[in-house]
Structures are given as structure tokens and as C-alpha cells.
Amino acid sequence: MGLSDFAKETPWRPQSIILEADPPAHTRTRAVLNKVLSPAVMKQLRDGFAAAAEAKVDELLARGSFDAVADLAEGYPMSVFPDAMGLKQEGREHLLPYAGLVFNAFGPPNELRQSAIERSAPHQAYVAEQCQRENLKPGGFGACIHDRADAGDITAAEAPLLVRSLLSAGIDTTVNGIGAAVYCLARFPEEFARLRRDLSLARNAFEEAVRFESPVQTFFRTTTKEVEIGGCRIGEGEKVLMFLGAANRDPRRWSDPDRYDITRKTSGHVGFGGGVHMCVGQLVARLEGEVMLAALARKVGAIEISGPVKRRYNNTLRGLESLPVTFTPA
């Protein structure tokens, strides 16, 4: 994955057995993660995730003014996802830098990629260690992956690599998704007012933010044979870069594409990708996004941007470094 072709170059870390694999090998590992992150599992997580979102919003309302990136977009996923994974308390501060590294490492081979990889050793060591069974609490996503090895669905050696996939892609994505949604609701107060009038729109308001901002902007694929795409012939073993953000604003597909509209029919956007590699954690992302936006709509009357908004640069992710806001209680 990324700009470098692992058939020709050595990857910066051991290759992913789900993202960087094709069917039929991919089908087996994907089925394991589908099971661990299924709709049935989300039903069990819902109440706990919702309660944590309410608690986070109460805490932020008490503070009044804060940074919506560090304190909300990062703070909320960090308060639920590591626990859902079953991670130990110690060392969690490595999770965000590791995720930033993964998404910068997709390339191109620029300063962002280079410096992320140069600084990566402690983060890689932490993640490798937490993928081991003895470090994962029973009942969490990580232990459930190891349980699938007991059931014979994957080998014991494959389980840690699948845990690594969730630690790579399960946190920065939701951080930037929730960050995008809060940034949208802060910029478009009339949409926040609509959401406050009808809380059932929370899930779609998050989905529309994923379309509108496309936190994962681009993804590479590698052709496995010569193909023709849009009238262009591409040879075997070529890298193809998909611009998900552009597709999500394509005027041929979306009416008024540059408008954030929380009632838009968002089905068919590609913010989570598409096809067999479509985001395996999309249900976790939607759950986090929905319960956070519902909590905001219930408790917050107004979101005001109260300082300079700073963008964070990453080779793959679109998001903010800082979003100073002030919350007024409902």
C-alpha cells in the first residue's frame, strides 16, 4: 500500500495481511475483522460509547473554551477506542503518532514521510508489543482476534498482524472524522440548529462530514493486470491513486457538492473507500461519530470558533492541528 510497490521494494514495516493482500488470502483475514467489528458487536458497545460521549461533552462545557482537535476530536476516540481494543493504560500516547506515521508512510517519499519514519522506532516497538495476546484484555477487539486463531480461522502468527491493522487505522481516522464534523457544525450553525431540532440526524450529519471533508483524501491501489479505467490503459503492476475527496465532491454525482447538508442522501460516498478493501472499521467510526454528535446536539447551544484554525499536514489525511472553540450550553 502506498506509493511504493512491495513486489519491488522492501516495505517500512512487515506487510499488512489484510490491506496489502488480495483474495483469496484477503478473504480469510477480512472475514475475521468483519466478525470482530460486526453490527452485532456494535450493538453491545453502543451504550458505553454514548455514555462516554455525554461525559466528554459535559467536561468540555464546564471548561467553555478549549481546542476541539486535542480535547474533543482526539480526546473522545482516545477515551473509548483503546478500551474497546483491550489495551493497557501505559503507552497509549504512542497511538496517535503511530497512526500519523502509517498515513504519512503511504507516500510520496517527501519530508513528511521521511521524518515520520525516522522518529518511528519507539511507536513501532509499542504497537508490536501491544499486539501480543498477553497484553490484550479479554473481550476486547484484540483478544477477539486472537480467539479467532484458536478457532482456526487464522494462524497464531497472523493474529498480532491483524491487531496491528486496527491500531494503525482505528484511531486517526475517527479523530479526523469527528474533527471534520465538529468543524462543519462550527462553520455552518444553521446545520447545527437543524441537528439540535432533530437528533435522529446525528448519524447522517457525521456521514455527510465524511463526504464533505473526506478525512482520508487518497488511497493507492496496485493493478494486478492490464486494465482500462475511464478510457486510459494502465499496465500490470502500476500504482493508481484514488482521490476520494474529489469523488465525494463530483458535481456529476452530487447536487450542490460544496454544501454541507446534514439531510443529504449520502449513500454511495467513498469516504470509507469501496470494494473488498472498504474500511473494515466503518461501523466503529459511525458509532463514535453518531453518539458524539447526538451528545453535542443535546447539550450544546452554540459552537463558536474562537481563535486561529490551523491545518495539520499529512500525506493521506485531511484534518486540523488546532480548532479553538467556545461552547455555550443549550
Partner 1 sequence: MPIITFIRPDRRAERIEAEPGESAMQAATRHGVDEIVAECGGNAMCATCHVYVDDQWIGRLAAVGDEEDALLDGTASARQPGSRLSCQIKITPELDGLVLRLPERQI
Contact 52, 76 (CB under 8 A): yes
Site track 200-239 with partner 1 (rule: CB under 8 A), x = hit: ---x---x--------------------------------
Q: Are 148 and 289 in contact (CB under 8 A)?
A: no
Minimum distance between the CB of residue 228 and partner 1, rounded to whole angstroms? 20
Residue ranges in 32-71 that form contacts with partner 1 under rule CB under 8 A: 34-35, 38-43
267 touches partner 1 by CB under 8 A: yes
Size of residue set near partner 1 by CB under 8 A? 25
Structural element, H or E, at residue 33 = helix 25-36
Burial 258-278 (b: 16+ CB within 10 A, else e): eebbbebebeebbbbbeeebe
3-state percent helix, strand, coil for the chain, nearest multiple of 5: 55, 15, 35
Whichever of 21 and 309 has its CB closer to partner 1, that residue is 21
Q: Return the exposure string of 96-135: e unless at least 16 CB atoms fall within 10 Å of the residue's CB, then b.
A: bbbbbbbbbbbbeeeebbeebbeebeebbebbbebbebeb
First to last CA, the chain: 45
Compute the least distance from the CB of residue 31 to partner 1, in Å. Answer: 7
Query: Does position 31 bind partner 1 by CB under 8 A?
Result: yes
For partner 1, the binding residues in 176-205 under the rule CB under 8 A are 203
* Residue 21 binds to partner 1 (criterion: CB under 8 A): no
For residue 160, give the amino acid letter: P
- Nearest residue to 123 via CA among 104, 101, 138, 143: 101
Q: Shortest distance, CB of residue 282 to partner 1, whole angstroms?
A: 7
Q: Looking at beta carbons only, is 30 or 123 nearer to partner 1? A: 30
One of 17, 286, 315, 319 touching partner 1 (CB under 8 A): 286
Looking at beta carbons only, is 40 or 229 nearer to partner 1?
40
Shortest Å distance, C-beta 170 to partner 1:
16
Residue found under cell 437528533: 199
- Choose the stretch contacting partner 1; rule: CB under 8 A; options: 57-65, 73-81, 226-234, 262-270: 262-270
131 vs 270 by CB, closer to partner 1: 270
Stretch that binds partner 1, among 51-59, 126-134, 248-256, 282-290 (CB under 8 A): 282-290
Taking the least distance from each CB to partner 1, the nearer of 66 and 260 is: 260
Distance between CA atoms of 69 and 75, rounded to whole angstroms?
8
Rounded CA separation 319/313 (Å):
8
Name residues contacting partner 1, limited to 131-150 (CB under 8 A).
none
Q: Which is nearer to partner 1, 95 or 279 (CB)?
A: 279
Pick from 186, 247, 250: which is nearest to 219 by CA?
247
Q: Which positions touch partner 1 (CB under 8 A)?
A: 31, 34-35, 38-43, 203, 207, 265-270, 272, 274-275, 278, 280, 282-283, 286
